[in-house]
Amino acid sequence: MKAMVYYGENDIRFEERDKPVIEQPTDAIIRMTKTTICGTDLGIWKGKNPEIAATTQAKTGAFNGRILGHEGIGIVEEVGSGVSHFKKGDKVIVSCVSRCGTCENCQKQLYAHCRNQGGWILGYMIDGTQAEYVRTPFADTSLYLLPQELNEDVAVLLSDALPTAHEIGVQYGNVKPGDSIAIVGAGPVGMGCVLTAQLYSPSEIIVVDMDENRLAMAKELGATHTINSAKEDAVKRILEITGGRGVDCAMEAVGVEATWNICQHVVKEGGHLANVGVHGKPVEFALEKLWIKNLTITTGLVNANTTGMLMKTCCSGKLPMEKMATHHFPFSELPKAYDVFKHAADEKAMKVIIDL
């Protein structure tokens, strides 16, 4: 089968790989019909996660590449003897988080930290979804039947982008009716924060980015204010909008020092700073200014414990997620899709969908 394989920093190859096989009774093999590229995949490509090769080398003595991707939908091709909820031919959403459902952390709904070799492993510690077939561990608790009425482009976003935004941004940020919130970074996850925050009726949704096209989309999807941080001082402007107080919640949705700095300087006393972005380098923590403000600062990796709820909400039409699928490519053009997503601002790309 064809797959996109990571070999090291700035080295990914679209090449032939062996089709996966059942390894554990709880496994399923999925024939992928749609996948996508996540910002995390770009980070891996750029060398943000060298542990992929290091961990594999330590365990097996060799690293022969890793198939990327942790999002997508497909059709069940084969199931292990321990799988009871799915059968061959079922159309499913593949969750980015694999969970055993029985370990101590899974019993606390900390599925991202499943102790039985689960959590975020697809496209990271095991081969992922940017291939014609993928092996999904713990199929009974890590797949979702695809509702007939659900737009399939939206279904792909339920693998990761939407639950990440909702759980790590909106829920960890404790967004409540009447709150003022700032979302710094208007990529797919930041836009997911814009949409899912509206389920909790905030009074102000301020979106910060450097891409005018993305800011325009944020306004279309529900932002009350947009700020281009390349053209004006975002901290100053947010304080102006909020009468000098700052926001109840700031969500950092990029994973770089510049966006972190905006967030840590705009949260008012008693507020929340929810870090959603994946950081590859240290940032300066202005504790000398923050200690007195009674803030709650949260970090996290998506647990996907709200995926089922979000799926029902998407089926109801209350989240216009389909607008985020801006580009489509056939699987044979996956390398071109990477180039487009890598230059998202120039290409006016939000989410790139790959059709198999």
Per-residue pLDDT tens digits for 27-36: 999 999 999 9
Same domain, 98 and 215: no
Looking at the fold, whether 168 and 149 belong to one and the same domain comes out as no
pLDDT digits (tens, 9 = 90+) for 205-216: 999 999 999 999
- Pairing between β-strand 133-136 and β-strand 2-8 as defined by DSSP bridges: unpaired
For the record, the structure tokens of 115 come out as: 């102790």
What is the pLDDT averaged over residues 283-287? 95
Evaluate if residue 54 carries a pLDDT over 90: no
Residues 183 and 61 in one domain: no
- Domain boundary, last residue among 298, 317, 340: 298
Task: Please give the Cα distance from 164 to 92 (Å, whole number).
Answer: 19
Range of the domain at 150: 2-159+305-355
Rounded-to-integer distance, Cα 159 and Cα 157, Å: 5
The verdict on 286 and 351 lying in the same domain is no
**Is the same domain home to 214 and 322?**
no
The CATH number assigned to the domain holding 115 equals 3.90.180.10
- What is the number of structural domains in the chain? 2
CA separation for the pair 132, 30 (Å, rounded): 8
- Claim to verify: residue 6 and residue 123 sit in the same structural domain: yes
Q: 109 with 19, same domain?
A: yes
- Of 278, 298, 318, which closes a domain? 298
* Full-model pTM: 0.95
CB 292 within 8 A of CB 271: no
Q: What span, in angstroms and rounded, lies between the C-alpha atoms of 104 and 130?
A: 31
What number is the average pLDDT over the span 320-337? 95
**Separation between Cα atoms, residue 270 and residue 294, nearest integer Å:** 5
Whether residues 7 and 127 share a domain: the answer is yes
326 Cβ contact partners less than 8 Å away, ≥ 6 residues apart: 348, 349, 350, 351, 352
User: Does residue 60 surpass a pLDDT of 90?
Assistant: no
Q: Are residues 196 and 117 in the same domain?
A: no
**Same domain? 232 vs 324:** no
Domain C-terminal end among 259, 282, 298: 298
Within this chain, do residues 294 and 173 fall inside the same structural domain, yes or no?
A: yes
Residues 74 and 127 in one domain: yes
Widest CA span in the chain: 61
Question: 217-221: long-range contacts (C-beta < 8 A, 24 or more apart)?
Answer: 217/186, 217/191, 217/323, 217/324, 217/350, 218/183, 218/186, 218/190, 218/191, 218/194, 220/323, 221/191, 221/194, 221/195, 221/320, 221/323
pLDDT bin (cut points 50, 70, 90) of residue 81 is: very high
- 131-186 pLDDT, tens per residue? 999 999 999 999 999 999 999 999 999 999 999 999 999 999 999 999 999 999 99
CA dihedral 269, 275, 281, 283 (to 10 degrees): 0
Q: Is the pLDDT of residue 280 over 90?
A: no
